[in-house]
Chains A and B, each alone.
Chain A
Amino acid sequence: MEHAEHAAHVAQQLGPLATHAVSYLWLIPFFPLVGAVINATMGVRLQRKFGKGLVHSISIGAMALSFITACVAFATLLGLDSEHRFLQDTLWNIFTAGKVSVDLGFALDPLSMMMTLIITFIGTLIHVFSTGYMADEPSYWRFFAYLNLFIFSMLLLVMGDNFVLMFFGWEGVGLCSYLLIAFWYTDPQKAAAGMKAFVVNRFGDFGFILGLFLLFWALGGAWHKAPDGKTTYVETDSHAAAYVAAARGEGHGTPHVQVGPTLNFRQLRDQIVITDTGVAENLKSQTVFGFGLLAMVGILLFVGAMGKSAQLPLHVWLPDAMAGPTPVSALIHAATMVTAGVYMVARLNFIFALSPTAMGWVAFIGALTALFAASIGFFQYDIKKVLAYSTVSQLGFMFIGVGVGAYWAGAYHLLTHAFFKATLFLGSGSVILGCHHEQDMRKMGGLGKLMPVTKWTYLVACFAIAGFPWASGFYSKDEILWKAFTQEGLAFPFLGMTPHLGQIIYLMGIIAATGTSFYMFRSYYMTFTGEYRGGHGDEHGHGDDHGHGHTHVPHESPRSITFVLVALATGAVLAAVIGIPYAWTGHAPLLEAWLEPALPAIVKFAEASHSTEYLFQFIGVSAGAIGWFFARMLYKDNESKVPAQLLERWKRAWTVVYNKYYVDELYQGTVIRGSVGLARALSWFDKYLVDGLVNLAGSVTRAFANIDGAIDRYLVDGAVNLVANSTLSAGSILRRVQTGRIQTYLYGALVGAIAIVLINFILQ
């Protein structure tokens, strides 16, 4: 699918981004923030006084307003011609320190616009779903406050026009994820899952921030390209940052590009994309400890994405995160937050595209994760665990996309995945609610008759994720795998250029896609076909503490839930419209054309004929069909005895996979035991050495204090008392003179007068 636009890209020199200033962008994250603040501060009283209706009205109202504002922004963007689609809203400068200048600014380009629409639209629907799902929850207000806070952070991550805001949002969504996973914090297992998510994310964040520092450091100056083609390094003063004129001086404004360290995405993009600044060349030539600087930046930034988007080996938190309420799993751990890593790589496409090593690393980890997680998904019995591993696997596909340079395809898979995975998760939520908080698929079955809406929407989403051409998943996954196959310019860290890495990744991807289809249909058949296997009066394993006093027959969920399911399933099908491939229609897919200005990276793909592409699409569909066929054969109506026999034969392999390849145990044995051991050693050090020193200092001080006290008591106090006592005794002696009798005084006066007279007389 090498269309003309790419060629045009190469030929045409890119200019700086033209921005279109608007003043309402801040409202989009502001509404959820207000909702969160109201519910967090007054929610408990509002809920007691006015009922749960008011609490969720505030939250959903905030979401709806935010979505409407996002739609207005979308309309504004559509009204501009594609070159100028960049809305900017800078509120104020947060701080300026040396070369770092950070504005509270929001920006919407086509990529962040797409994310914002997904977040606000699916977010609103999931808020509505939650009113049904969480209806019996006593701390309803807390749930909605967290949800709104999450949306705020996510919007900050997506809309912030610089790394600082993005990082703030990045941490904010991590916090909300932690709060929501551990929402039922009285259950130690759930609280531990929340902490696990938080801690694992910290590892990723550490990589992210290191990558950020490295990039900032690398930009620490300006580069001038002299006429003889030599690039010289000029250390710039922060107050007189160098301005380098882009060669292309078009009529409008002054096409000046600020060069130097920046945290702003647009400035970063401009100085790297415009080749005349020499920044890109310089970055490419720099090395750190003999390792390509850009590769290092890309790999470190991707470590951040690995944490947030649950890629190998930092994927362990996501399956455990299913301890949270199901709407949270759908919103945070499937549709939005976990895709932040994909968004970040797509956002920084112009940096990743400069380094084949970074690209290869991203794509390879993505492929490995896709395959690995899919295989774990085969044998899970907890319906949410299946979906969790499926999410990890699909995120792997997205990283294949953004790794091989098919940024739009990665973003497209992000969009389609948001719809079908939200449908699947909410469908599973509906099933769990219907089965009174039973998550084990072995205790389900036959729910299709009892929950028709849930069944049909779930089936539609299964077709979407498995990659059948009547739903959206096919278009995005096929595009990713096709681009992976035709990508020849990938390198592997330490190995250098690896020409067939793309094909290897394709192979891993297609196997993972077959697996995806298998485990998704397995979960479908186990849940919805056959006979209901739920025990009676079986109360253990209810995760979400509610739902007593019902009869134990599953029932269809309330209207608020089915409405959302239908809306999302429709979205999962209709999203196909914007991604119909070039080979079918002769023009670029709508989404690719839309995202074009936001993805300036130039990535070359091998030329291939349309017939080859058709062949690969056929392979993609048949991969899905094979998975479907086997799932149907083995699990339909729970009749086949083959799965049990296979399990017997491959017991050992099954045990390894069922236990998730013992990755958790590996962490337990290495990282956790290491940390605990270190903590013990430090505790010993604290207890005996530091405490000893402190106690020694304490006793020395006490001894000194005692001496000082004695001096005070006997010397200083004695002197003071002596003065006081002598004054007292002098007073008691002298008071006898003061009789108070006037006649006595007169005697005195008389004697005195006579004495003066006599002295006078004698002296004369």
Chain B
Amino acid sequence: MAHLTLTHFLVISALLFGFGLLAVVTRRNAVAVLMGIELILNAANLNLVAFGRYVAGGISGQVFSLFVIVLAAAEAAVGLAIILTLYQMSRNIDASAATTLKE
């Protein structure tokens, strides 16, 4: 079992961020976009924890990531509620079709 270094964490985190971004940019389904955002947030969480462990020490990185998890939960709740309403309005959750606020 090789020793885990900061680089491993950062690679995983970068991959997570890349997948998240890819999901946000490419998916038309609003729930999938939301999931992509979750991935990006979790990539950031992984970074916070990893830097907290290897660089800064202490628990401040973990505390930050907890806040981000709470925030993500709240964001998911609001986002899903909006998507639900959107669905009720137009029987559709295609993000690019939700243009009623435009102009």
Question: Which residues of A line the B interface, CB within 8 A?
Answer: 740-743, 746-747, 750
Residues of B within 8 A of A740 (CB): 99, 102-103
Question: Which residues of B line the A interface, CB within 8 A?
Answer: 21, 24-26, 33, 95-96, 99, 102-103
Question: Do B102 and A743 have beta carbons less than 8 Å apart?
Answer: no
Question: Do A743 and B25 have beta carbons less than 8 Å apart?
Answer: yes
Residues of A within 8 A of B25 (CB): 743, 746-747, 750
- Smallest CB gap from B22: residue in A: A750
B37 to chain A, nearest CB (A): 11
B95 to chain A, nearest CB (A): 7
Question: Do B99 and A750 have beta carbons less than 8 Å apart?
Answer: no
Residues of B within 8 A of A741 (CB): 96
Question: Do B24 and A746 have beta carbons less than 8 Å apart?
Answer: yes
Residues of B within 8 A of A743 (CB): 24-26, 33, 95-96
Q: Is the interface of B mostly helix, strand, loop or mixed?
A: helix
Residues of A within 8 A of B96 (CB): 741, 743
Sampled A-B contacts (17; CB under 8 Å) = A740-B99, A740-B102, A740-B103, A741-B96, A742-B95, A743-B24, A743-B25, A743-B26, A743-B33, A743-B95, A743-B96, A746-B21, A746-B24, A746-B25, A747-B25, A750-B21, A750-B25
Kindly state the separation between the CA atoms of A743 and B98 in the bound complex, as whole angstroms.
12
Top 7 nearest A-B pairs (CB, nearest first) are A740-B102, A746-B25, A743-B25, A741-B96, A747-B25, A746-B24, A750-B25
Kindly state the separation between the CA atoms of A195 and B103 in the bound complex, as whole angstroms.
79
Kindly state the separation between the CA atoms of A742 and B95 in the bound complex, as whole angstroms.
9
Residues of A within 8 A of B102 (CB): 740
Residues of A within 8 A of B95 (CB): 742-743
A737 to chain B, nearest CB (A): 14
Kindly state the separation between the CA atoms of A750 and B33 in the bound complex, as whole angstroms.
16
A761 to chain B, nearest CB (A): 16
Kindly state the separation between the CA atoms of A352 and B90 in the bound complex, as whole angstroms.
115
Kindly state the separation between the CA atoms of A740 and B95 in the bound complex, as whole angstroms.
11
A754 to chain B, nearest CB (A): 11
Kindly state the separation between the CA atoms of A709 and B24 in the bound complex, as whole angstroms.
61
Residues of A within 8 A of B33 (CB): 743
A751 to chain B, nearest CB (A): 10
- Smallest CB gap from A738: residue in B: B102
Residues of B within 8 A of A750 (CB): 21, 25
- Smallest CB gap from B26: residue in A: A743
B102 to chain A, nearest CB (A): 4
Residues of A within 8 A of B24 (CB): 743, 746
Kindly state the separation between the CA atoms of A741 and B102 in the bound complex, as whole angstroms.
9
Residues of B within 8 A of A742 (CB): 95
A644 to chain B, nearest CB (A): 112
- Identify 13 new A-B residue pairs, CB closer than 8 A, beyond the known A740-B99, A742-B95: A740-B102, A740-B103, A741-B96, A743-B24, A743-B25, A743-B95, A743-B96, A746-B21, A746-B24, A746-B25, A747-B25, A750-B21, A750-B25
- Smallest CB gap from B24: residue in A: A746
B76 to chain A, nearest CB (A): 17
- Smallest CB gap from A746: residue in B: B25
Residues of A within 8 A of B21 (CB): 746, 750
- Smallest CB gap from A743: residue in B: B25
Kindly state the separation between the CA atoms of A746 and B22 in the bound complex, as whole angstroms.
10
B86 to chain A, nearest CB (A): 14
Kindly state the separation between the CA atoms of A740 and B33 in the bound complex, as whole angstroms.
16
A583 to chain B, nearest CB (A): 120
- Smallest CB gap from A753: residue in B: B21
Kindly state the separation between the CA atoms of A746 and B33 in the bound complex, as whole angstroms.
12
B79 to chain A, nearest CB (A): 13
A524 to chain B, nearest CB (A): 107
Kindly state the separation between the CA atoms of A740 and B101 in the bound complex, as whole angstroms.
9
Residues of B within 8 A of A747 (CB): 25
Kindly state the separation between the CA atoms of A662 and B96 in the bound complex, as whole angstroms.
111
A72 to chain B, nearest CB (A): 92
A643 to chain B, nearest CB (A): 112
Kindly state the separation between the CA atoms of A747 and B25 in the bound complex, as whole angstroms.
7
Kindly state the separation between the CA atoms of A746 and B96 in the bound complex, as whole angstroms.
13
Kindly state the separation between the CA atoms of A741 and B21 in the bound complex, as whole angstroms.
15
Kindly state the separation between the CA atoms of A169 and B29 in the bound complex, as whole angstroms.
103
A466 to chain B, nearest CB (A): 110
Kindly state the separation between the CA atoms of A245 and B89 in the bound complex, as whole angstroms.
113
- Smallest CB gap from B102: residue in A: A740
Kindly state the separation between the CA atoms of A741 and B27 in the bound complex, as whole angstroms.
13
Kindly state the separation between the CA atoms of A747 and B24 in the bound complex, as whole angstroms.
10
Kindly state the separation between the CA atoms of A499 and B103 in the bound complex, as whole angstroms.
115
- Smallest CB gap from B27: residue in A: A743
Kindly state the separation between the CA atoms of A742 and B79 in the bound complex, as whole angstroms.
15
Kindly state the separation between the CA atoms of A418 and B68 in the bound complex, as whole angstroms.
118
For A740, A742, A743, A747, which residue has the most chain B Cβ atoms within 10 angstroms? Answer: A743
A738 to chain B, nearest CB (A): 10
